[in-house]
Amino acid sequence: MELNTIERDDIGAAAEDLVVPPAATRKVFVKTYGCQMNVYDSQRMTDALATDGYVATDAVGEADLVLLNTCHIREKAAEKVYSELGRIRELKAERAKAGREMLVGVAGCVAQAEGAEIIRRSPVVDLVIGPQTYHRLPAVLAKARSGEKIVETDYAVEDKFEHLPQPKRAELIRRGVTAFLTVQEGCDKFCTFCVVPYTRGSEVSRPVAQIVAEAERLADAGVREVTLLGQNVNAWHGRGEDCEEWGLGRLLFRLAEIPGLARLRYTTSHPRDMDDELIAAHRDLPTLMPYLHLPVQSGSDRILKAMNRRHMAKDYLTLIDRIRAARNDIALSGDFIVGFPGETEADFEATMQLVEDVNYASAFSFKYSPRPGTPGAEMNDQVPEAVKDERLQRLQALLLKQQQHFGASLVGRTIDTLIEKPGRQAGQKVGRSPWLQPVIVDEKAGEIGDIIQVRITKTGYNSLFAELA
Ligand code: 5AD
Ligand code: SF4
């Protein structure tokens, strides 16, 4: 497709007067907002830019290219991007005074949702690129460097993953012993509060061979733990090596065969897509970590219906029972929204009751934030901010109590820990429990990448302290 072009707004100096550094010495600063998929996408964009001569920098003032990988899920997330662009405008003007160029790009879900509006509101931006077109980044940048303003938000017909370059082995090693791997993107569920189906498009599953090859590369670079990502990851499906249709459960069994990969996880799931095979994978696959993020959003059937979640509270509780029967040490995590339009005190109480019934190990909870273009934003009975605030506080107090209770229940127990990185304090290393908690151990307890047995001695606010068992 054609790239859209908008008149350039020059800051400080005309584009042709600025010194454009030769490839190989260009620097890119990437800032990532939002979910793990954006973290993964930022890495893949950095890999694509490496082939274009860009090296990553942590110093935004030194960057020839600043890329914001944005999130649109709630209003606050989107607003952060505009305030960051205000700061970048000053940096760009300073660099222009010194005769240096600074291209500014907005990627991710705000880019997809707002497109050219971003450049209108923030003329400092040179390029806007949506999540489905990251493989075109080098071509887009070449145009931007010649002074065009670019908005590239069409859904690409080609498979971006096939066109995105793989990182070098040394780069994978540098990134550490845990990694994300996107297997599925987009969503067809259309929950009435959510922008994802509009910003990430309809559900697409990556092919088995591509996923297996990427997982093998990760394992070869020393990665021990892989988290499969998708907006609706448990809706992943594909034609397997045996020519049969596989679901996520089968895929997990296949990935568990890869030598070196010791731990598998996946996120985020929809309750409607937890099939028998996936539950069986939790029962039969020791590599699959006993932790499941399974958002329910509300405990009220009336609100679940208005949210178009397509299940009732009871269905969720029954599902949790089946999952716990398959793997009794599984820890559950969830997402909750308070103050969805029409939510009464009784509806909110039903959510509190569901939380009591499930007993979560961790959870995320949010005030409903109307998103332009979603059905929820058009609904009557929007809940006043003060009511949302008060409900969120009550819900979070309960969730925090459950989280602390879960941590405390591990004290004295011996568990596996994957050593991930040096600790913040000298003499310590940080590992990760099967249930995703950071585990602080003595640095001599093991090398990075080792999976060791530790005994939990006490809990921190969000972490566990342990000694070698
Ligand atoms: N307002 C508040 N929270 C939202 N989420 C998604 N959309 C909204 C919204 N409009 C939350 C849901 C989802 C998580 C990623 O973000 O809980 O599971
Ligand atoms: Fe959004 Fe998840 Fe619902 Fe899809 S299933 S619309 S990503 S909340």
pLDDT tens-digit map of 55-69: 999 999 999 999 999
DSSP 21: P
Sign of the torsion angle spanned by Cα atoms 295, 298, 300, 304: negative
* Cα distances (Å, whole numbers) of residue 109 to 35, 51, 406, 468: 11, 24, 34, 43
The atom of ligand 2 lying closest to the CA of 190 is 6
Q: What is the pLDDT of residue 22?
A: 64
Q: Is 229 left (phi over 0), alpha (psi -120 to 50) or beta?
A: beta
Q: What is the pLDDT of residue 86?
A: 94
Q: Report d(CA 43, CA 130) in Å as an integer.
A: 15
Q: What is the pLDDT of residue 18?
A: 58
Q: How many whole angstroms from 74 Cα to the centroid of ligand 2? A: 13
pLDDT band at 24 (very low <50, low <70, confident <90, very high): low
> Closest Cα to atom 3, ligand 2: which residue?
191
Residue 14, pLDDT above cutoff 60: no
Tens-digit pLDDT profile for residues 93-151: 999 999 999 999 999 999 999 999 999 999 999 999 999 999 999 999 999 999 899 99
Tens-digit pLDDT profile for residues 144-181: 999 899 999 998 877 889 889 888 999 999 999 999 99
Q: Two tokens at 86?
A: 């205000």
270 lines ligand 2 (CB under 6 A): yes
Q: Report d(CA 107, CA 157) in Å as an integer.
A: 18
pTM for the whole structure: 0.93
* Mean pLDDT computed over 283-309: 98
Residue 326, pLDDT above cutoff 80: yes
Residue 7, pLDDT above cutoff 70: no
Is the bond preceding 268 in cis, omega lying within 30 degrees of 0? yes
Mean pLDDT for the chain? 93
- Give which of 88, 30, 92, 33 is closest to 55, Cα–Cα: 30
340 lines ligand 1 (CB under 6 A): no
Q: Report d(CA 320, CA 309) in Å as an integer.
A: 16
* Mean pLDDT computed over 42-46: 96
pLDDT band at 189 (very low <50, low <70, confident <90, very high): very high
* Cα distances (Å, whole numbers) of residue 105 to 81, 184, 401, 452: 11, 25, 42, 43
The atom of ligand 2 lying closest to the CA of 187 is 4
